[in-house]
Amino acid sequence: MTELESWYERENGQYLLAGTRKAVAGVLDTAFGYHLLQTGCSRGHALFSDSPINHRIYAAEQAGDQITLLASADELPLESDSVDTVIAHHTLDFAGNPHQVLREIQRVLTPQGHLLIVGFNPHSLLGLNTWLRGMSRNSLWHRHKSVSESRLTDWLHLLGCEVQDTVRLGMLPLAGRGALRRALVRVDNWSQRHNLPGGGIYILHAIKQVSAVHRPRRQWQLRREQLISLVPKPAAAPTPYRPSRIGSARRDRSREGEV
């Protein structure tokens, strides 16, 4: 179990995970297509259970019970313009090159495809907490580099993706019991209704408007044989039966001989 997976198993993590699933489900209800992909380093927290898409790929660098594809997010073995919905669950937060990861996600996403990015807000109390965890040289949190909403929006614009909406969760960390806990939950619900920018986690929804951003031709040709094609291909139309002219001529001559 990774440190992020362990964090999500705690009470505060479970609360934020439930809120994330609810926000993601609101988009998935209207995101149709053939293929869905979720990436990230949290392997036991699938967010696509409410999706109407039947073919779902759960990709991670390490094996897990729910993982169906072992792959790095910055080099996905999938054809360009082949995935209808992509969920990036903290994928950018722990990437060595988050911009390259975003380019790769944009490449595999179909035009008009839906992109959901879940990330830690660096300008929040939770963002400060994750930064402090990184100072401890922890194997996972030390790699943590949150991408702000404003920077992410700029990157998406350059890649031809249009931001539709952003949901923010966890303005205040849950603490205490009883009346204090209920008060903190009410404050967090109030901040969500007013979409305040101080949430610890953001769920950004964008739609791809352009075709894939391809890599240099030579590099692309070297990888092409390794790519998995997901695009459904139409079946060949059946050829109508037409009797052979040679056979018809032979039958005509045989009939003349009988006469």
In this predicted structure, what is the pLDDT of residue 56? 96
**How many domains is the chain partitioned into structurally?**
1
Per-residue b or e along 178-206, where b marks 16 or more CB atoms closer than 10 Å to that residue's CB = eeeeeebeeebeebbeeeeeebbbbbbbb
Give the mean pLDDT of 202-216. Answer: 80
List pLDDT tens digits, range 27-49: 999 999 999 999 998 888 999 99
What the block records as the tokens of 21 is 């699933």
List the single range of 18-22, 83-87, 129-133, 231-235 with lowest mean pLDDT: 231-235
Confidence label for 252 from pLDDT (cuts 50, 70 and 90) = low
- Spatial distance between the Cα atoms of 36 and 50, rounded to a whole number of angstroms: 12
- Structure token digits, residue 225: 């044989």
Contacts of 23 (CB under 8 A, 6+ apart): 167, 169, 203
29-38 in b/e form (b: 16+ CB < 10 A) is eebebebbbb
Give pLDDT tens digits for 20-30: 999 999 999 99
Q: Which domain holds residue 157?
A: 3-258
**Residues 46-71 pLDDT 10s:** 999 999 999 999 999 999 888 999 99
Sheet with strand 83-89: strands edge to edge:
69-70, 55-60, 35-40, 83-89, 109-120, 201-208, 161-169
CATH number at residue 187: 3.40.50.150
Tokens 């951003």 correspond to: 213
Query: What is the reported pLDDT for 204?
Result: 98
* Residue spans of alpha helices (H) in the chain: 3-8, 11-28, 98-108, 125-135, 149-158, 178-193, 217-224, 245-258
pLDDT digits (tens, 9 = 90+) for 94-141: 898 999 999 999 999 999 999 999 999 888 777 566 655 555 565 555
As given in the structure block, the two tokens for residue 15 are 């609360």
* Intra-chain end-to-end CA distance of the chain, in Å: 88
d(CA 61, CA 43): 9
**β partners of residue 204:** 117, 166
Residue closest to 117 by CA, chosen among 96, 74, 86: 86
Look at the block and give the residue holding tokens 């082949």. 82
Residue listed under structure tokens 């045989």 = 254
Phi, psi values for residue 153, rounded to 5°:
-60, -40
What digits encode the pLDDT tens for the residues 129-185? Answer: 665 555 556 555 556 678 999 999 999 999 999 999 999 998 777 666 777 778 878
Q: How far is Cα 16 from Cα 34, in angstroms, rounded to an integer?
A: 29
User: pTM for the complete prediction?
Assistant: 0.79
Between CA 91 and CA 112 the distance in angstroms is 21
What is the CB neighbour count within 10 angstroms for residue 103? 17
